Amino acid sequence: MDLSTSGQLFTPGKSGYFAAKLNKEDGRSQENMLGLEIYASTHSFVKAKHIPLLGKFSYFRNNPVVFEDAVVSVERIKGWMSEYGPFAVERIHGAFHSDIPNALKNFLWNSFVPLAKPYEPGKASDRWLIAVPVSWITMTAQNNHATKLAGEFGAGLNFHRNVVERAVKTGRMKKIRGNAGYIWIENDLDYIRERPDQFRREVSIVSAIEAIKMSGADGLILGIDHAFRANKDPRDYFEEHADLLKENLRCIHICGSKGDHSPLLPDDKEVVELCRWLGPRLDPRVRFCVDTNPFLEAGYTEDQQYDGYKGAVHMLQSV
């Protein structure tokens, strides 16, 4: 069981605090310790000193997150462990773009969306609220930041399919893997699709597994969080690709069933029913990872966030 730092993307140390506190309260052993999937942020999106100026833009004014604490390093992760207590560094989430030309192309495409456009989950404005800041603070896989972090902690790596496909094409796969314990590929790409046919094609389980085979990666992460955002029933994946998932599935990203990566609450009936349905169909080694939206998490106090993660973890374990 893992927590993604996505929900605390701009203050990732809080995820370390939550994981360590849960490990302590639950009396978890070293082998059963709650782990983190850590976004490999190389720098912050916005410094606090710039907030008054940027507050003139509705994008920043309406999102009360201070962005300056996002940087992740070996020293900072060890500092969180020392300050809060033990947690496992299970995986490092790599950058959303493989190299600078690829990132620039996507950034220019996304820049057609005005900063002031109201946020609509799953729509084009979602690019500026989530994807652009995430892409900016993680930069590209070319910097090998995620690879170095994974190697230092003996952790795994995960990338979205487009990054791995590009790395294979440019001959960089070996360098991206480095000394990571494993590489898992998430079936979704890195941007919003509004046409159902485009979504189906680009979250294809078959294409993701082809990328696993061509790259020598070690398994699949199934983005149920993205399925919820696109109003797709995740059961369809298992009914259409049971054999492929049985062989390749290693982890499931999950969140609340409503909205865009909404916080997962223990009374979310749709998720509870889904997990009960999944139970007998999953290899016991498949990990669940709670993957939520930092802007939605920011609407709760720290205590409420912790209670939400605690309830979600216990609910997932119970069903």
* 168 contact partners, CB below 8 Å, separation of at least 6: 211, 214, 215
Distance CA 257, CA 61 (A): 27
Which residue would you say has higher pLDDT here, 194 or 70?
A: 70
Distance CA 36, CA 77 (A): 11
Question: How confident is the prediction for the chain on average, in pLDDT?
Answer: 83
Return the closest-CA partner of residue 309 out of 287, 290, 283. 290
Q: Phi then psi for 112, rounded to 5 degrees?
A: -70, -15
Token pair listed for 11? 């203050």
Residue 220 has what pLDDT?
Answer: 97
Residue 151 has what pLDDT?
Answer: 97
> pLDDT tens-digit profile of 75-93?
999 999 999 999 999 999 9
CATH superfamily of 2-318: Divalent-metal-dependent TIM barrel enzymes (3.20.20.150)
Answer whether residue 314 shows pLDDT above 70. yes
Return the closest-CA partner of residue 189 out of 109, 304, 288. 109
* 184 contact partners, CB below 8 Å, separation of at least 6: 91, 156, 157, 158, 217, 218, 219, 220, 221, 250, 251
Answer whether residue 69 shows pLDDT above 80. no
Domain boundaries, the chain: 2-318
Rounded average pLDDT over 133-147: 79
Split at pLDDT 50, 70, 90, the class of 306 is very high
Quick one: how far is CA 278 from the chain centroid? 21
Angle formed by the axes of helices 13-26 and 74-84, to 10°? 40
Distance CA 5, CA 13 (A): 8
